[in-house]
Copies of this chain bind each other. A is one copy, B any other.
Amino acid sequence: MRSEPAVTGVVTGVVPPVCTPLTDERELDVPSLERLCGFLLDAGVTGLFVGGSTGELAYHPDEVRLRALAVVRGVAAGAVPVLAGAVDLSTDRVIAQARAAEAAGADAVVATVPFYSPTHPAEMLDHFTAVSRALSVPLWAYDIPANVQRKLPAEVTAQLAGSGAIAGLKDSSGDLDALRTVLDLTAAGGARARGFSVLTGSEVMADIALALGADGVVPGLGNVDPHGYVALYEAARRGDTKEAARQQERLRALFALVRVGDPARIGGYASAIGAFKEALARRGVIAHATTPRPMGPLSAAERAEVADHLRTAGLL
């Protein structure tokens, strides 16, 4: 942890959790990943998040995680910050991941609460503090209870923001009430004034999160339609809530593509990630819609449904 709160600047705007394109042999598809990053930057995104849930953090060995980070960093080339997920089961494993990401050039690392075993809020506090102390780059908290089973309590977030242990929050909890509490507490405690950043991971309530004061959005669907999220963000930023809502409605409709996969056959992540990749392939951004093991593939009919969604949204 830096000796003084080292939050150096708010991250704002659209920061997509970058998909991880794979070849048919399930190897990292570097040219596709480069094209995807270029596509996102051209659309006006203000940062890139590698190794998030959408980036299949759970599915790739460390070396693939790090190679993807290096590729993204190469394309970003300092023009926008690159945040890297350092998700693992508990403190010392997270530190190992985080240091590797830092060494590979991440501008900030993003970590969840410990999972696998239940963790007390006081232990969550110690966890982030210890990870932060082990790093030179800023640490962000990644609140994603659907995947790690436990919510990072707003009060713990605020305490960590206050001490400078964390420089930002990626809120993928879907809990707008708790998000509002975080914004209130970090404003009251001074962390917001010092640059503590709050991004929402919600694809479907981003306009509301921005209206409540969030600085930006980290939408998985932003891989498929970055222009839509940039338009939403810019409308929200200039106070045009009506236009922001209009963009949000359009993106809410498009988001239905994550449910094309038959739940009797494949898991929800296989459906969502498969649909994002199918959409990117149909749009000509990446070469293959391949998903990692053990995700079951979308059927031909399901892939055609993805195309229908794109057509309806004017993206094909």
> Which A residues lie at the B interface, using CB under 8 A?
53, 57-62, 64, 87, 89-93, 95-96, 114-120, 122-124, 126-127, 130, 147-149, 174, 176-177, 180-181, 184, 202, 204-205, 208, 211-212, 241, 249, 252, 263-270, 292-296
What is the bound-complex CA distance between A24 and B130, given in angstroms?
Answer: 17
Q: Which residues of B contact A91 (CB under 8 A)?
A: 59, 292-294
**Count of identical protomers in the assembly:** 4
Are A90 and B292 in contact (CB-based, < 8 A)? yes
Could you say which of B127, B202, B241, B264 contacts A264, with CB atoms under 8 Å apart? B264
Shortest distance between the CB of A143 and any CB in chain B (Å): 14
Given A122-B266, A177-B205, A208-B208, check contact A61 B293 (CB 8 Å): no
Are B114 and A58 in contact (CB-based, < 8 A)? yes
Q: Which residues of B contact A252 (CB under 8 A)?
A: 180-181, 184
Given A180-B252, A208-B208, A293-B126, check contact A269 B60 (CB 8 Å): no
Are B119 and A294 in contact (CB-based, < 8 A)? yes
Are A249 and B184 in contact (CB-based, < 8 A)? yes
Shortest distance between the CB of A214 and any CB in chain B (Å): 13
What is the bound-complex CA distance between A64 and B176, given in angstroms?
Answer: 37
What is the bound-complex CA distance between A252 and B181, given in angstroms?
Answer: 9
Knowing that A53-B117, A58-B116, A126-B294 touch, tell me 19 more A-B residue pairs with CB under 8 angstroms: A57-B89, A58-B93, A58-B117, A61-B92, A91-B292, A92-B292, A114-B294, A115-B115, A116-B147, A117-B268, A120-B263, A120-B267, A124-B294, A149-B149, A174-B177, A177-B204, A180-B204, A208-B208, A211-B241
